C-alpha cells in the first residue's frame, strides 16, 4: 500500500469556545486560533481539528447545528474562517472540520418545515412515527436523558432524537437527505479544508422496524442496537464515491461501541469508506455495575483491561485498516487524572508516560488542547459549577427523578467522568483569565492555571509540552513508529504497560510504569539497545521509577 499523508500526521483538537478569545467577550473565536498558530507549529502537529463552529443554538455546544454553511457569529464571520484556513495552510498545517449529520438542531430550517405537516418538502427528512397506543413508538432512552421520542402536535407524531430533544435525528433512508449531506460536505471541501471528523457516524443507519431495547432505561442505548446499523456500509460507500474520493482528504468517524471487526469494514484499505474511526473501548472500561447509571462511576480503570482494549485494536487493524489513537477529547475527562495520577508530585511524569504509551502505537494520534500541558480534571464539587447538558441532565434524572443514587455520590461521579473536565478554557499564562481573554471566560478556568499554563510549559525544557514535541518528531522521523506491527508483553501485568513494535528487522520496546512504585522488569532482548526517549534522567535499565516510561530501539 502506498503511504498516505495522514499516516504521518499528528492531529491537534481545538475546542473553539475554550481556546483563545480575541475580542474579549469571554468566548474563544476564530481570530483567536490564528493568534495561536505559531504555538501549534512549535509543538509540531500537522492537522487541526475544530469542534463545530457552525450556526447553532448551542444546546450541546455546537453539536446541534442550525445552518451548516454559516459560522456562528460569536466565533467570527465566514471571512474569518477563510482567513483561518489560509493561515493554517501558510503555517504548514491542515484543517479538519466536524461533520455532525446524524442529527441537526431543531432550529434547522429542515426541521422547522418538517414538523409543520406530513406533506412538505422536508416531511421525510427526520424520523417521524405515529403514537402506539397513545405512547412513544418504542422504549428507547435518549443519551442525554428521558425518552428518545418527542411528540409534535402539528404532525400528531413523534420524532426520534438519540441525544437531546433539540437534536432530531436525520432520516438517512431518504436519498434527498443524503444528497443534502453530500452538498454540505462539498461546500467545505471546495473551500479547501483537508477532511472531516464525523460525529457519531455509526448511528446514521437505524435498525429496521426500530425494535424495543431489551433493557429499557439503561445506557448506552447504542450498544448492539442502534450502532453499526444495516445500511451503514452502504451510506459510507456512497459518501466516499460521491464526495470523498474526489478530494485528497482524511476522515475519522466517531463510532461509539464499534468493535475492531466493524472498523475493518469502515477503514479497510479496500473498503472505500473512511480512513479511521474513534473507537470507545478504552474509554468505557468502568461503567457503573448498575446499568441504569451508565458511565457514571468513580472507579479507577484496571490496567490489564486498558491494555487489553488498546492491544486488541492494535493487533486487529494491523495491515487491514488504520487506528486513531487518543486519550482525551471534549467528551472525556482528562487522561492524567483518569488513567494515571494528577497529584502534583507525579502529574508531569505521569502525563509524559501516558503520551509515550499512546504515541508509540500504530495509528494517527490525536492531542486534545491542554493535553500537551498535562492538564488534569477540575475536581468540581457543586452541580452549579457544571455547564454540560449531559452532566446536568444526568444529575437531575438519576438523583432527583429516579432516585437511583444520592447527590454527593453523583457529584463524585461527575468529578470523575464529566465532559466538563475537558472544556475549561485553555490556560495560556498565569495572568488574570490565563491569557484566554480579558473578560470573564464563558466557563471557569481550571484553578490550577497559575502553575499549569502554556507560557510556563514553553519556558521549561522538561515540560510535558516538549515531551509531546519529541513524540511527534519521533513519529515523523520513523517508519517503525508509523508502521511497525504490535506485539504486547505480559498482558496480565497490572503495573506496567509494555509492548514491542517490529518493522523491517528493527524493534522498538516501550515500557511504562503506571504506578507510583519503583518496579523491576526485565524484557530480555538479544541485541544492544539505544534509549530513544524517557521521562527520567539516568536510565536505570531494568528499574522503572514511579510513572517512568521509556522507549528503546534495537537495530
Ligand atoms: C458526539 C460528540 C458529543 C456530542 C454528541 C452528540 O459524541 O462528540 O460532544 O454531544 O456526539 O452530537
Ligand atoms: Ca470572542
Question: Is there an atom of ligand 1 within 6 Å of 199 CB?
Answer: yes
Give the residue from 353, 347, 366 showing the smallest Cα distance to 197.
366
Q: At what angle do helices 232-242 and 175-191 cross, to 10 degrees?
A: 40
Cβ–Cβ < 8 Å for 397, 375: no
What CATH number was assigned to the domain covering residues 485-554? 2.60.40.1180
254 carries an active-site annotation: yes
Question: Is there an atom of ligand 1 within 6 Å of 388 CB?
Answer: no
Cβ–Cβ < 8 Å for 222, 277: no
- Ligand 2 centroid, distance to 269 Cα (angstroms): 42
Q: Whose CA is closest to atom 9 on ligand 1?
A: 331
Which of 68, 108, 200, 330 is the pocket-test mutation for ligand 1 (most atoms within 8 Å of CB)?
Answer: 200
Phi/psi at 395 (5° precision): -60, -50
- Edge-to-edge strand ranges of the sheet holding 128-129: 128-129, 157-160, 149-152
- What pLDDT sits at residue 222? 60
Of the listed ligands, the closest to the CA of 22 is 2
199 carries an active-site annotation: yes
Q: Whose CA is closest to atom 6 on ligand 1?
A: 63
Of the listed ligands, the closest to the CA of 13 is 1
CATH class of the structural domain 1-99+323-380+425-477: alpha beta
- Ligand 1 centroid, distance to 59 Cα (angstroms): 11
- Ligand 1 centroid, distance to 466 Cα (angstroms): 31
- Let me know if 452 is exposed, middle or buried by CB neighbors in 10 A (0-12, 13-18, 19+): buried
Question: Is there an atom of ligand 1 within 6 Å of 63 CB?
Answer: yes
Question: Is there an atom of ligand 1 within 6 Å of 98 CB?
Answer: no
Question: Is there an atom of ligand 1 within 6 Å of 548 CB?
Answer: no
Q: What are the extents of the domains in the chain?
A: 1-99+323-380+425-477, 485-554
- What pLDDT sits at residue 228? 92
* CA–CA distance, 419 with 423 (Å, rounded to integer): 7
- What pLDDT sits at residue 490? 98
* CA–CA distance, 168 with 173 (Å, rounded to integer): 15
Question: Is there an atom of ligand 1 within 6 Å of 196 CB?
Answer: no
Catalytic residue (one of 254, 273, 388, 420): 254
Tell me how far CA of residue 378 lies from CA of 121, 222, 385, 444, 456, in angstroms: 47, 29, 10, 10, 19
Strand, helix or coil for residue 513: strand
pTM of structure: 0.97
* CA–CA distance, 263 with 267 (Å, rounded to integer): 6
Q: Whose CA is closest to atom 2 on ligand 1?
A: 199
Give the residue from 160, 157, 159 showing the smallest Cα distance to 132.
157
- What pLDDT sits at residue 1? 55
Q: Which atom of ligand 1 sits closest to the CA of residue 329?
A: 8
Q: Whose CA is closest to atom 4 on ligand 1?
A: 63
- What pLDDT sits at residue 526? 59
- What pLDDT sits at residue 218? 65
pLDDT, tens only, 141-166: 999 989 999 999 999 999 999 999 99
Dihedral in degrees, nearest 10, Cα atoms 187, 189, 191, 196 = 110
- Ligand 1 centroid, distance to 13 Cα (angstroms): 14
- Grid coordinates belonging to 202: 455509526
- What pLDDT sits at residue 219? 58
Residues belonging to the chain:
555
Of the listed ligands, the closest to the CA of 199 is 1
Which of 13, 14, 60, 256 is the pocket-test mutation for ligand 1 (most atoms within 8 Å of CB)?
Answer: 60
Instruction: Give the mean pLDDT per block of 10 residues along the chain (555 residues).
Output: 90 98 98 98 98 97 98 98 98 98 98 97 98 95 92 97 97 98 98 98 95 76 80 97 97 95 90 94 94 93 98 97 97 98 98 98 98 98 97 97 97 98 98 97 98 98 98 98 98 98 96 98 80 96 96 92
Which residue bears the cell 463524585? Answer: 412
Catalytic residue (one of 29, 169, 194, 199): 199
Domains 1-99+323-380+425-477 and 485-554 equal at CATH topology level:
no
* CA–CA distance, 231 with 172 (Å, rounded to integer): 9
Amino acid at each position: 500500500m502506498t503511504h498516505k499523508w495522514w499516516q504521518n500526521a499528528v492531529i491537534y483538537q481545538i475546542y473553539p469556545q475554550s481556546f483563545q478569545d480575541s475580542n474579549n467577550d469571554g468566548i474563544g473565536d476564530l481570530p483567536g486560533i490564528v493568534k495561536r498558530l505559531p504555538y501549534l507549529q512549535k509543538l509540531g502537529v500537522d492537522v487541526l481539528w475544530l469542534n463545530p463552529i457552525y450556526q447553532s443554538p448551542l444546546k450541546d455546544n455546537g453539536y446541534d447545528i442550525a445552518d451548516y454553511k454559516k459560522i456562528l457569529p460569536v466565533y467570527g464571520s465566514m471571512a474569518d474562517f477563510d482567513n483561518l484556513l489560509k493561515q493554517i495552510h501558510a503555517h504548514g498545517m491542515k484543517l479538519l472540520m466536524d461533520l455532525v449529520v446524524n442529527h441537526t438542531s431543531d432550529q434547522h430550517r429542515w426541521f422547522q418545515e418538517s414538523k409543520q405537516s406530513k406533506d412538505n418538502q422536508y416531511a421525510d427528512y427526520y424520523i417521524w412515527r405515529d403514537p402506539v397506543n397513545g405512547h412513544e413508538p418504542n422504549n428507547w432512552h435518549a443519551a442525554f436523558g428521558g425518552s428518545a421520542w418527542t411528540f409534535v402536535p402539528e404532525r400528531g407524531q413523534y420524532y426520534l432524537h438519540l441525544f437531546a430533544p433539540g437534536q432530531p435525528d436525520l432520516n438517512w433512508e431518504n436519498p434527498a437527505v443524503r444528497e443534502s449531506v453530500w452538498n454540505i460536505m462539498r461546500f467545505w471541501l471546495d473551500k479547501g479544508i483537508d477532511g472531516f471528523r464525523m460525529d457519531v457516524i455509526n448511528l446514521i443507519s437505524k435498525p429496521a422496524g426500530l425494535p424495543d431495547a431489551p433493557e429499557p432505561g439503561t445506557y448506552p442505548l447504542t450498544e448492539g442496537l442502534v450502532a453499526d446499523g444495516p445500511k451503514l456500509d452502504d451510506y459510507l460507500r456512497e459518501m466516499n464515491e460521491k464526495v470523498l474520493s474526489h478530494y485528497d482528504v482524511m476522515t475519522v468517524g466517531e463510532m461509539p461501541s464499534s468493535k475492531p471487526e466493524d472498523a475493518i469494514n469502515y477503514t479497510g484499505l479496500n473498503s472505500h469508506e473512511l480512513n479511521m474511526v474513534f473507537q470507545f473501548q478504552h474509554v468505557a472500561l468502568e461503567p457503573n455495575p448498575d446499568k441504569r447509571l451508565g458511565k457514571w462511576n468513580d472507579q479507577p480503570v484496571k490496567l490489564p483491561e486498558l491494555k487489553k482494549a488498546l492491544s486488541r485494536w492494535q493487533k486487529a487493524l494491523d495491515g487491514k485498516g488504520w487506528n486513531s489513537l487518543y486519550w482525551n477529547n471534549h467528551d472525556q475527562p482528562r487522561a492524567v487524572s483518569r488513567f494515571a495520577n494528577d497529584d502534583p508530585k507525579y502529574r508531569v511524569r505521569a502525563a509524559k508516560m501516558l503520551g509515550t504509551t499512546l504515541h508509540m502505537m500504530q495509528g494517527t494520534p490525536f492531542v486534545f488542547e491542554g493535553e500537551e500541558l498535562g492538564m488534569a480534571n477540575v475536581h468540581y464539587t457543586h452541580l452549579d459549577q457544571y455547564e454540560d447538558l449531559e452532566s446536568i441532565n444526568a444529575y437531575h434524572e438519576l438523583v432527583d427523578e429516579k432516585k437511583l443514587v444520592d447527590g454527593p455520590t453523583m457529584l463524585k461521579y461527575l468529578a470523575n467522568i464529566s465532559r466538563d473536565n475537558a472544556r475549561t478554557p485553555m490556560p495560556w499564562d498565569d495572568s488574570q483569565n490565563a491569557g484566554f481573554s480579558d473578560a470573564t471566560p464563558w466557563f471557569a478556568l481550571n484553578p490550577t492555571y497559575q502553575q499549569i499554563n502554556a507560557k510556563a510549559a514553553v519556558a521549561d525544557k522538561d515540560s510535558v509540552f516538549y515531551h509531546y514535541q519529541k513524540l511527534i518528531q519521533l513519529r515523523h522521523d520513523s517508519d517503525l513508529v508509523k508502521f511497525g506491527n504490535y506485539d504486547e508483553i505480559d498482558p496480565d501485568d497490572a503495573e506496567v504497560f509494555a509492548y514491542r513494535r517490529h518493522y523491517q528487522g528493527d524493534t522498538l520496546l516501550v515500557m511504562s510504569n503506571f504506578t507510583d512504585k519503583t518496579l523491576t522488569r526485565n524484557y530480555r532482548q538479544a541485541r544492544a539497545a539505544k534509549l530513544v526517549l524517557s521521562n527520567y534522567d539516568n536510565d536505570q535499565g531494568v528499574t522503572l521509577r514511579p510513572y517512568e516510561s521509556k522507549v528503546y530501539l534495537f537495530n
